[in-house]
Amino acid sequence: MGGYGYETEFSGDEYAHRGVILVTINYRVGILGFLAHPELTAENPHHVSGNYGLLDEIKALEWVRDNITEFGGDPNNITIFGQSAGAISVRCLVSSPVNKVKIAHAIIQSGGGLKVSEGPVQPLTLAQGEQIGLAMFPGKSLKEMRAMGISELTAAYYDFVKRFPSFIMFSPIIDNYAMINDLGPLMKKHAIMHIPYMLGVTLDDMDFSRMTPNIPNFSLELEKNGYKPAYLYEFMHRLPGDGAGAFHSAELWYMFGTLKNCWRPMTQADYNLSDEMITYWTNFMKNGNPNGKGVSQWNPYSKKNPFLKKFDTK
């Protein structure tokens, strides 16, 4: 629904220092990115609408594949990773039949486990999305909608939320084109990419992405269906400065190495934790395995060895 790629917690400096090229992408969000509507569907050659932001991401991936060599990168060793809505994007990209880019590894941070869950980002069908579009712009033609400015579109969204408070946000929909289902059912059909996965949550995360059986079950379901089990983690560290705890997105300052940009009274222990996490993340991006020199062993979560990596200050 919002956000941008140059927020202060995001930076590629520490990744570059460790031989990883970070490419941050932007895509259409909110109404412009995920509105479905019968008239939009009718004008589309694939008879779909509502996943414009997701299609933007696929185009961005294609750009990386076609151009990263010019920056010293390897188009055959692309890792995609995201947190929250970005994690939902990763889920979609590893399972979208439209995405033809070879992905080497994927990291899902606070974006649900085996399923997105019954929370505010439960994927809708195309028909459900179209009904929301009609209700959000009652009596408006597509031509009239396109003539509206962003402030008018935003006002229409907020008016709709007042009338239908159960609707929380726009997100990718199951249109049977760019997105065909959630990950759980697709694993059984081997319809998600056979690649190494890392996923986890924060201790005080949002309800839809908490460390419930949904997260371990992601790895167990992978293993059950012939995939390699995933590396699972929980970010335990409650950040200094207030009582917000290990909140949703708290780990971003640490795994991007941007503590210096944060107002909080960080200590050397915070910087040590950040260094540890960056090492694991960049190792995984290079090799599909977070382990390496200078860090303790992180085993994948399997039925025989249900290992969960917990990140906290020492």
Q: Which of 124, 67, 59 is nearest to 93 (CA)?
A: 59
- Give the pLDDT mean for 70-92: 96
- Give the pLDDT mean for 286-300: 97
The pLDDT score that the predictor gives to residue 310 is 98
Backbone angles phi, psi at 83, to 5 degrees: -125, 140
Distance CA 225, CA 187 (A): 7
Higher pLDDT, 2 or 259: 259
Q: Which of 57, 256, 280, 267 is nearest to 172 (CA)?
A: 57
Q: What pLDDT, in 10s, does the model give residues 101-116?
A: 999 999 999 999 998 7
**Those residues with Cβ within 8 angstroms of residue 215's Cβ, 6 or more apart along the chain or in another chain:** 113, 114, 199, 200, 201, 232
CB-based contact 25:60 (threshold 8 Å): yes
pLDDT(22) > 70 = yes
Q: How confident is the prediction for the chain on average, in pLDDT?
A: 95
Distance CA 3, CA 206 (A): 18
Domain 13-311 CATH (choose: 3.30.1950.10, 3.40.50.1000, 3.20.20.60, 3.40.50.1820): 3.40.50.1820
- Look at the block and give the residue holding tokens 């299609």: 55
pTM above 0.75, yes or no: yes
Q: Distance from CA of residue 156 to its chain's centroid?
A: 27
**Which run of H or E residues covers position 219?**
helix 214-224
| Token representation of residue 87 | 């994690």
pLDDT(238) > 90 = yes
The pLDDT score that the predictor gives to residue 118 is 55
The pLDDT score that the predictor gives to residue 116 is 78
pLDDT category of residue 187 using cuts at 50, 70 and 90: very high
pLDDT(117) > 70 = no
CB-based contact 208:112 (threshold 8 Å): yes
CB-based contact 91:117 (threshold 8 Å): no
Q: Is 287 helix (H, G, I), strand (E, B) or coil?
A: helix
Q: Is 213 helix (H, G, I), strand (E, B) or coil?
A: coil
The pLDDT score that the predictor gives to residue 119 is 52
Strands 105-109 and 79-83: parallel
- Look at the block and give the residue holding tokens 């259409």: 28
pLDDT(313) > 70 = yes
**Those residues with Cβ within 8 angstroms of residue 279's Cβ, 6 or more apart along the chain or in another chain:** 18, 292, 294, 295
For the chain, the domains span 13-311
| Token representation of residue 271 | 């910087």
pLDDT category of residue 121 using cuts at 50, 70 and 90: low
